[in-house]
Structure 1
Amino acid sequence: MPRLTRLTPDTAVGASRDLLADLVSRHGQVGDMVATMAHSPAVLGGYLQLSRAMGRAKLNRRISERVSIAVQAQQGCGLCLDAHVSAARALCVDEEEIERARAGTSADPAIAAVITLAPQIYREPASITDDQVTALREHGYSDRAIADVVGVVALNILTGAFNLLAGLTPESAARA
């Protein structure tokens, strides 16, 4: 059961009301997470800005969804994990690769190098080595793509932690 209530443009106040009203006018509706984030205009605004910015990432979307799966498998947000698994499937990532991403790897060594890095950024970023970054470059990743991995992880930490705090689960989303 959700711990925080969903807001609407009618129940939100100030900047949150404006953000929600704009989103609803452009998209028709907003999901539970966004509607609940509206309790804090700073959190909602930050999420929207980071989400838009990561839409311009150089990291391939099929890879970034697997990075998200690996992070959410660690963080434990079922709502986020389900969303990223669905997105990976929509991008034609096969079930074996989705399962490998849950385990923090891939059959492709270049993709495995990035997916392995993501949970490490989440859990223990101080342990990242020069050799790991060199290996990513040897697999063809630019400095921008490597930096984008941090952005994907950060976005997942924000959304997953928020959903866990707010009590948003796949079950609560299905009831809404």
Structure 2
Amino acid sequence: MPRLTRLTPDTAVGASRDLLADLVSRHGRIGDMVSTMAHSPAVLGGYLQLSRAMGRAKLDRRIGERISIAVQVQQGCGLCLDAHVGAARSLGVDEEEIQLARAGTSADPAIAAVVALALQVYREPASITDEQVTALREYGYSDRAIAEVVGVVALNVLTGAFNLLAGLTPESATRA
């Protein structure tokens, strides 16, 4: 059962009402997480800005979804995990790779290395070494793509932690 209520453009106030109204006008509906985030215009606005910014990332989305799966397995947000598994499938990531992502790895050594880095960013960023970053460059990752790993992890921490706090689960999600 959700711990926080969902808001609509009619029930939200101030900046949150404006943000929700804009989202509804552009997309036709809003999801449970976004409607619940509207309790804080700062959280909702920050999420929307980071989400839009990461939409412009150069890191391959199929890799980003594997990172998201690995992080959400660790964080424990079933709602996010389901969404990222679905997104990975829609991008053509096969079931074996999805299962490997759940385990924090990949059959492809280059992807395994970047997923491992992402999990390290999530768990213990102070332990990242120069050698790890050099190895990622040797696999062909640009400094931009390496930096974007932090953005993917940060977005997952925000959404997963929020959903867990709010009590949003796959079972509680409204199906629209």
- Quick check: TM above 0.5? yes
Q: Identity rate of aligned residues, in percent?
A: 88
Aligned counterpart, 2:74: 74
> What TM-score results when the alignment is normalised by the length of structure 1?
0.98
Give the distance between the partners of 2:78 and 2:165, measured in 1 at CA. Answer: 12
Q: Confirm whether residue 41 of structure 1 aligns to residue 8 of structure 2.
A: no
Instruction: Give the alignment of 1:12-51 within 5 angstroms.
Output: 12-51=12-51
Q: Deviations over 1:118-165 (max 9, x none)?
A: 111011000111110000000000000000000000000000000000
Question: In 2, Cα distance between the equivalents of 1:153 and 1:15?
Answer: 27
Counterpart AA for 1:10: D
Q: Structure 2, unaligned stretches of length 5 or more?
A: none
Note if 1:2 corresponds to 2:35: no
Give 1:147's aligned amino acid. A
By how many angstroms is 1:60 displaced?
Answer: 0.1
Identify unmatched segments of 5+ residues in structure 1. Answer: none
Partners of 1:158 and 1:78 lie apart in 2 by 14
Query: Which letter does structure 2 place at the counterpart of 1:8?
Result: T
| C-alpha distance in 1 between matches for 2:69 and 2:132 | 20
Q: Which amino acid aligns with 2:94?
A: D
The count of aligned residue pairs is 176
Equivalent residue, structure 1, for 2:158:
158
Question: In 2 relative to 1, CA 21–161 (structure 1 residues): closer, same or farther, beyond 3 Å?
Answer: same
Q: TM-score normalized by structure 2?
A: 0.98
CA shift, 1:174, in A, is 4.7
> What is the DSSP-based 3-state SS (H/G/I as helix, E as strand, rest coil) of the residue aligned with 1:107?
coil
- Report the Cα offset of residue 166 of structure 1: 0.1
The letter for the 1-side match of 2:93 is V
The equivalent of 2:104 in structure 1 is: 104
